[in-house]
Structure 1
Amino acid sequence: MGTFWWESKFADMGVQMILDDLYDYFGDVYDFIKDLCYYKGHYYAFDCTIAEDILIVRKDLWEEYVGMPWPGLKRRLTWSEWLTALDQLTRPEKGLWGIDLAGKTLFFILQDIWMPVGSAGGSWYDDQGRINLDNDIVIKALEFYADQAKHCPPGWEGRDYLDTFSSLATERVAAIYGWPRGIAYIKQYARPEIADQEHFGVILKPAPPNGIDFTQIDDNTWHVFTNSKNPELGKEWVKFINETENYVEWCKTVPLQLLPVRKEANKILREVAAKDFEEWSTWYEVQM
Structure 2
Amino acid sequence: MLVRDLSRRNFLLAAGVAATAVSVSSTAARSQDVKRVRLMHTQAGDPAMRKYFIDAIAQYNGENPGVEIIPEFIPWNEAYPKVQAGLQSGTPPDIVHGDPFAYGAMLAFGILEPVTGIIQELGWANDMYPNTRVVVEGNDFLVPTWAETLGLFYRKDWLEEKGISAPFKSWDEIIRAARALTEPEKGRWGISMGLKRAGKLGDDFFSVLTGLGGHIYNEDRTTAVNTPLFKETMEIFRQLCECSPPDSVEWEYAGVRTGYKTGKVGLHLYEPRTMTEILGEPYGGYGSGFPDLLDVTQWQMLPTRSAAEWPNKAFVRASLEGFCILKGSPLKDEAAKFITWFLKDRERYIRMLQTVPLMELPVLESVVEGDEYWDHVSYKRRPDIVPLLKGAMRAYGRSTIVNRKMDVYPSTVIAESSMALGSLAIDDALLAYISEKQPIDTVISELETKLAHFIRT
Q: Does TM, normalized by the shorter one, top 0.5?
A: yes
User: 1:87–1:32: structure 2 CA closer, same or farther, 3 Å change rule?
Assistant: same
Other-structure match for 2:361: 259
1:84 paired to 2:176 = yes
User: 1:10–1:57: structure 2 CA closer, same or farther, 3 Å change rule?
Assistant: closer
Give the letter for the 2:378 counterpart.
Answer: D
Give the letter for the 2:144 counterpart.
Answer: D
Other-structure match for 1:270: 374
User: 1:18–1:12: structure 2 CA closer, same or farther, 3 Å change rule?
Assistant: farther
Other-structure match for 1:29: 127
User: 1:70–1:12: structure 2 CA closer, same or farther, 3 Å change rule?
Assistant: closer
Other-structure match for 1:53: 150
Paired with 1:83 and 1:215, the residues of 2 have a C-alpha distance of 20
1:245 paired to 2:350 = no
Alpha-carbon offset, residue 49 of structure 1? 0.8
**Percent of pairs with identical residues:** 18
* Partner residue of 2:166 out of 70, 79, 104: 70
Give the letter for the 1:218 counterpart.
Answer: S
Alpha-carbon displacement from aligned partner over 1:76-107 (angstroms, at most 9, x marks no partner): 52121111111211122221111011111341
1:138 paired to 2:230 = yes
| RMSD of aligned Cα (Å) | 2.8
Alpha-carbon displacement from aligned partner over 1:26-82 (angstroms, at most 9, x marks no partner): 236332344x32333333321111221221000111111144x222xxxx5212111
* Partner residue of 1:195 out of 288, 293, 309: 293
* Partner residue of 1:165 out of 242, 250, 257: 257
User: 1:172–1:18: structure 2 CA closer, same or farther, 3 Å change rule?
Assistant: closer
Q: Which runs of 5 or more residues in structure 2 are unaligned?
A: 1-96, 280-286, 394-457
Alpha-carbon offset, residue 24 of structure 1? 5.2
Give the letter for the 1:195 counterpart.
Answer: L
Conservation of the 8 A alpha-carbon contact between 1:17 and 1:225 = no
User: 1:184–1:10: structure 2 CA closer, same or farther, 3 Å change rule?
Assistant: closer
Conservation of the 8 A alpha-carbon contact between 2:114 and 2:139 = no
Alpha-carbon offset, residue 113 of structure 1? 1.0
Conservation of the 8 A alpha-carbon contact between 1:16 and 1:224 = yes
Query: Structure 1 residues 201-210 or 49-58, which shifts more?
Result: 201-210
User: 1:190–1:58: structure 2 CA closer, same or farther, 3 Å change rule?
Assistant: farther
Hey, which of these two has a bigger chunk of strand by percent? Answer: 2
Give the letter for the 2:351 counterpart.
Answer: E
Other-structure match for 1:95: 187
Paired with 2:257 and 2:108, the residues of 1 have a C-alpha distance of 38
Give the letter for the 1:206 counterpart.
Answer: P
Conservation of the 8 A alpha-carbon contact between 1:201 and 1:282 = no
Give the letter for the 2:300 counterpart.
Answer: I
Alpha-carbon offset, residue 181 of structure 1? 2.1
SS state at 1:80 partner: helix
Moved over 6 A (4+): none
Paired with 2:112 and 2:188, the residues of 1 have a C-alpha distance of 52
Paired with 1:166 and 1:7, the residues of 2 have a C-alpha distance of 29
Other-structure match for 1:216: 317
SS state at 2:153 partner: strand
1:150 paired to 2:254 = no
1:119 paired to 2:215 = no
Other-structure match for 2:74: none
User: 1:20–1:83: structure 2 CA closer, same or farther, 3 Å change rule?
Assistant: same
Paired with 1:95 and 1:241, the residues of 2 have a C-alpha distance of 48
Paired with 1:246 and 1:110, the residues of 2 have a C-alpha distance of 35
Other-structure match for 2:137: 40
Other-structure match for 2:335: 234
User: 1:190–1:91: structure 2 CA closer, same or farther, 3 Å change rule?
Assistant: farther
User: 1:124–1:11: structure 2 CA closer, same or farther, 3 Å change rule?
Assistant: closer
Paired with 1:283 and 1:138, the residues of 2 have a C-alpha distance of 32
**Structure with bigger RCO (C-alpha 8 Å, 6+ apart):** 1
SS state at 1:122 partner: coil
User: 1:185–1:18: structure 2 CA closer, same or farther, 3 Å change rule?
Assistant: closer
Alpha-carbon offset, residue 249 of structure 1? 2.8
Alpha-carbon displacement from aligned partner over 1:224-250 (angstroms, at most 9, x marks no partner): 234101111111111112121322232
Paired with 1:176 and 1:127, the residues of 2 have a C-alpha distance of 31
Bigger Rg, structure 1 or 2: 2
Paired with 1:278 and 1:270, the residues of 2 have a C-alpha distance of 8
SS state at 1:270 partner: coil
Other-structure match for 2:412: none
